Structure 1
């Protein structure tokens, strides 16, 4: 097998991470869409607040980012999480905010430029097109940058040493 060809175990790892990423993202999607629609149809209805759809999307996406960070850190990329949790979280949120920008841009163009202002149009532009484009962007950057193999990782617990205390010099 050439060095440019992925080994079956690396391919299985990639597929497993992608599936877990999708499941975590699915939970984030439920949070995002649920909060967005709750806000969009109540206190941030565009009939009462001109910027309502965009502000609702900012809030719903911020909550979804938090859910996604926890899920990706402790499940999707659990073997890649880093010892420097603060830096990891800053990088994760930076990538997520850039991904959120993709979704917001789709919603903004649809709602304010193309004047598709119905609830369905806002959901299609922000919660379908924007989330799909943003998810691809985020998966790639989470995998290669935030949780990249070159990063320091939290040491895996050693079952044999679980009962022993090791003093570090």
Structure 2
């Protein structure tokens, strides 16, 4: 395994897996964002901004769980599903508080009260909460099965070593 300053000791394929995970997380997140903003736009006609955003966020959390569980983290340990759902709801709830704290501060602290301003403030809050959610979900909720992750790392190291040997043999044969 070649260690470079950019990889920080990780193999290139580990970085590719992380990039793939971030991309999938983003796709599910964007679909949740669309669902949330559509729900929020409707609910703002009937409710105060923070209350409307709480309801819209709960709708998005439910749809996002399906995307995360069955697409982004489908290889995560499935033996502890009740633990997973509990942690997902706890961390989603913390994200909801972060998101609505930002919305509350911008709406009432800075006096943003139009529908468009509320939507923009919501997007800012979602952005802040998304950073927390990504860290929490991948660290605590959707944990990979340790044996599989270790086996993949070991296989990657063996393949990398084999590649180095073949490259050296090819150079020496010239």
For normalisation by structure 2, the TM-score amounts to 0.77
SS at match of 2:103: helix
Structure 1: any 5+ residue segments left out of the alignment? Answer: 45-51, 154-169
Moved more, 16-25 or 78-87: 78-87
1:133 aligns with 2:128: yes
How far apart are the structure 1 equivalents of 2:113 and 2:90?
29
Deviations 1:18-59 (A, max 9, x none): 111001011110111000110102x22xxxxxxx21111111
Distance (whole Å) between structure 1 residues aligned to residue 8 and residue 78 of structure 2? 27
CA distance, structure 1, for counterparts of residue 78 and residue 36 of structure 2: 26
In the alignment, which of 143, 156, 160 is matched to residue 138 of structure 2?
143
Q: Name the structure 2 match of 1:80.
A: 76
Query: What is the RMSD computed on CA atoms of the aligned residues?
Result: 1.9
Per the alignment, in what secondary structure is the counterpart of residue 149 of structure 1? coil
Which structure: larger Rg? 2
**1:20 and 2:24 equivalent?**
yes
Q: Does 1:31 align with 2:52?
A: no
Aligned length: 144
Q: How does 1:1-169 map to 2 (within 5 A)?
A: 1-2=2-3, 4-41=8-45, 43-44=46-47, 52-126=48-122, 128-149=123-144
Equivalent pair of 1:104/1:130 in contact (CA under 8 Å): yes
Higher share of residues assigned helix: 2
Q: Which runs of 5+ in 2 are unaligned?
A: 149-174
- Name the CA distance, whole Å, in 1 between partners of 2:99 and 2:38: 16
